[in-house]
C-alpha cells in the first residue's frame, strides 16, 4: 500500500468516525424534540453517504504538512465536510439542480421529502459551526477559522457561485464567467479546507499562500473534470445521471473549449498547482498525488 493510500485511508476513517460520533452522541446530547429523530436520520443519510472526503483530507494534510496536530484539526475538517454535504443536499433540490441521485443513492429529497431535505441541509450548516467553535483549540484560532469558513461558504463565496451557476443556465456564458462561477461555487470550499488546516497548525503566511494557490489550481481542474465526465462518464460509476448540463443549456468548459482542450487545461492547472507545493519539499508528495488522482478521476 502506498503512503497516499495509507494516509488517505487513515484520514477518511478519522472523518467518518468523527461524523458518526457528533451525530449520534455529542451533537444532540440532552436535547429533545419530536422532529429530532427524522432530522438526525436525514442528516446522517447524506453525511455518511460515502464520497471522496477531499475537503477534510485537505484540512488534515495541510495541518500535518505545516507542523500541526492532525487530531486537533478533525473538528475543522468535519465542519468543512458538513457544509459541503449541506450544499449537495440543497443543490439536488427541485428548485435548484433537481437531481434524483447522489453517489449512487436517491437524493435526500427523494427519501425524506423536499422540506425535510431542506431542513437537513440547514441542520448540517448550523452544526458545522457548532462543531468547529466547540473544538479544543486556542480561541483565537477558532474565531479566525469560523469567520473564514463563514465567508467562504456565504454570499461572497459558495452561495455567490451557486447564484451565478443558476444565472448561467439557458444562456451562453463566457469562459471568464464560468471561471468566476467555479472559483466561488467549487473553489472556495476547497480553498477554505486547506486554510483551516493551516490555521489549526499555526502556518506561516508563505505556507498559507502556497496552500491557497495549490487549491485554486486543483479546484478549477476539479470542475473541468466534472464537466468532462458529464459528457463522457459512466452513469453507474458516477452515481448520478450524465448529460444534465446539456439538458439545462448550461455553458461548460466542454461546450466552449471541446473535450480535448478541456482535458489539456485541467492537466495544465494540475501541474501548476503542484509546483506551488515546492515550499514543502518531499513532504508534499501526498498532495501532489492527490492532485493527479483528481485530474484523472472517473467519478
Provide the CA 277 distance to its chain's centre, in angstroms.
Answer: 20
What are the beta bridge partners of residue 101? 106
Q: Which of 184, 150, 149, 152 is nearest to 165 (CA)?
A: 184
Bigger pLDDT: 95 or 170? 95
Q: Which domain holds residue 213?
A: 3-295
How would residue 250 be classed by pLDDT, with cut points 50, 70 and 90? confident
Burial of 228 (0-12, 13-18, 19+ CB in 10 A): middle
Q: Render 182-251 in DSSP notation, one character per residue.
A: HIIIIIHHHHHHHHHHHHHHT--HHHHHHHHHHHHHHHHHHHHHHHHHHHH--HHHHTS-S-HHHHTT--
171 pLDDT band, cuts 50/70/90, is confident
The per-residue pLDDT for 29 is: 58
- Tally of domains in the chain: 1
Given a cut of 90, is residue 59 above it in pLDDT? yes
**pLDDT reading at 240 higher than 80:** no
Model confidence pTM above 0.85:
yes
In whole angstroms, what is the distance from residue 90 CA to residue 95 CA?
Answer: 9
Asked if residue 87 has pLDDT above 90, the reply is yes
- 210-234 pLDDT, tens digit per residue, is 999 999 999 999 999 999 998 987 7
Q: How confident is the model at residue 145 (pLDDT cuts 50, 70, 90)?
A: very high
Three-state DSSP class for 119?
helix
CATH no. for residue 199? 1.10.600.10
Residue matched to cell numbers 452561495: 159
Amino acid at each position: 500500500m502506498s503512503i497516499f493510500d495509507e494516509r488517505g485511508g487513515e484520514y477518511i476513517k478519522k472523518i467518518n468516525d468523527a461524523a458518526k460520533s457528533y451525530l449520534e452522541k455529542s451533537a444532540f446530547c440532552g436535547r429533545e424534540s419530536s422532529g429530532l429523530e427524522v432530522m438526525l436520520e436525514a442528516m446522517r443519510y447524506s453525511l455518511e453517504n460515502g464520497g471522496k472526503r477531499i475537503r477534510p483530507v485537505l484540512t488534515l494534510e495541510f495541518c500535518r504538512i505545516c507542523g500541526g496536530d492532525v487530531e486537533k484539526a478533525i473538528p475543522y475538517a468535519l465542519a468543512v465536510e458538513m457544509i459541503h454535504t449541506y450544499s449537495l443536499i440543497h443543490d439536488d433540490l427541485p428548485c435548484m439542480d433537481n437531481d434524483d441521485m447522489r453517489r449512487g443513492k436517491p437524493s435526500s429529497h427523494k427519501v425524506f421529502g423536499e422540506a425535510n431535505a431542506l431542513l437537513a441541509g440547514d441542520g448540517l450548516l448550523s452544526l458545522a459551526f457548532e462543531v468547529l467553535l466547540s473544538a479544543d483549540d486556542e480561541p483565537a484560532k477558532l474565531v479566525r477559522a469560523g469567520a473564514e469558513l463563514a465567508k467562504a461558504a456565504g454570499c461572497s463565496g459558495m452561495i455567490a457561485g451557486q447564484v451565478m451557476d443558476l444565472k448561467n443556465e439557458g444562456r451562453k456564458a463566457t469562459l471568464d464567467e464560468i471561471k468566476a462561477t467555479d472559483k466561488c461555487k467549487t473553489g472556495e470550499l476547497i480553498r477554505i479546507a486547506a486554510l483551516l488546516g493551516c490555521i489549526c497548525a499555526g502556518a506561516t503566511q508563505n505556507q498559507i499562500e502556497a496552500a491557497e494557490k495549490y487549491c485554486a489550481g486543483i479546484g478549477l481542474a476539479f470542475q473541468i473534470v466534472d464537466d468532462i465526465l458529464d459528457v463522457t462518464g459512466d452513469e453507474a460509476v458516477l452515481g448520478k445521471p450524465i448529460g444534465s448540463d446539456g439538458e439545462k443549456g448550461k455553458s461548460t468548459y466542454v461546450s466552449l473549449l471541446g473535450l480535448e482542450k478541456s482535458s489539456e487545461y485541467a492537466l495544465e492547472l494540475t501541474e501548476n498547482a503542484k509546483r506551488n507545493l515546492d515550499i514543502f519539499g518531499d513532504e508534499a508528495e501526498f498532495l501532489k498525488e492527490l492532485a493527479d488522482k483528481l485530474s484523472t478521476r472517473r467519478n
